[in-house]
Amino acid sequence: MRIVAAMSGGVDSAVAAARMLDAGHDVVGVHLALSRSAATLRESARGCCTIEDSGDARRVADKLGIPFYVWDLADAFQRDVVDDFVEEYAAGRTPNPCLRCNERIKFAALADKAVALGFDGVATGHYARIVEPDDPQNTTGRRELHRAVDDAKDQSYVLGVMDEAQLAAAHFPLGDTTKPEIREEAAARGFAVAKKPDSYDICFIADGDTRGFLASHLGERPGDIVDVDGEVVGTHGGAYGYTVGQRKGLALQRPSADGRPRYVVDTDVAMNTVVVGPEALLGIDVIVGDRARWCGPPPQGRVTVGAQVRAHGRELPATAEAGPDGEVVVHLQHRERGVAAGQSVVLYDGTRVVGSATITHTRRLS
């Protein structure tokens, strides 16, 4: 097959490209230029898609003897990921930009361009597994997305937005390997990126200051922090910068009556108010989501699933039911805390990803 290997400049995508070449595919390396300010180098291990990364990717491609190109998707990334991120926070929701990037950039804009140029698929350095129909673990007779064998690096959560068509053209060569093994393999292949630090956090916020980034786009909007009784206990620079479950950075001016910590339990961006309360108020039993995306046919009726609401969170035993117009209702067996609108809930059947939805609201049953 003719494969585009998405090469970020890191160790994972370097080994992924090498493995696709070893498997006999016709591989072309592609680095995505996603930043409109690519001349700005990363800060420590943060950030990605810089000139530094492009150079690292090119050196790996040269060592592998494969063609290498830089594709400019900065406008699409700005519109579909960065602007979406700001708009979601402005509306009082807490998005995950990595899911949006996978949904709209890597397995949409990139994959569409690759197919238009005659390629058969896209390979990335994500830690996840594709299980083919002839694999004994396959339960559907279709290509399935599964968790990686390395639980610490598993990225199936951020890939849970992939639909069946996107899954058909995706390749994840690292899913059966641990990260230490990948670094060893990269070193054995002579890749200079073998010891390169991982990028982390939000790639387009290189200094890690999400609230500062939002303030630069949305402006300062001073308002009140109130307790559940409506008493003012502090002030903030914009309700958009707070999320349900947050404890740090509140700078409350009045302690709680019992002296216990308080957490963000609600935000109202229309009123520009942040509500804080005791930890007990964070627990929820039901998650309602929309914009469901399925890695195969949607479930019929209420089914038993595992539900995950954070990229590196635990899997929660639950049941889920698909409703009309892309709605999903998830009933958790045990109460979970700190779940915010805008996050994604990804559903699993064992290690298999069933699908995902964007959380619109949550409920407590008692």
State the catalytic residues. 101, 203
Amino acid 130 reads I
CA separation, residue 294 to residues 217, 221, 229, 232, 343 (Å):
33, 38, 41, 44, 17
Closest CA to 5 of 33, 28, 32: 28
Amino acid 168 reads A
Beta bridge partners of 71: 32
Beta bridge partners of 27: 3
Characterise 341 by phi-psi region: left (phi > 0), alpha (psi -120 to 50), beta (else).
beta
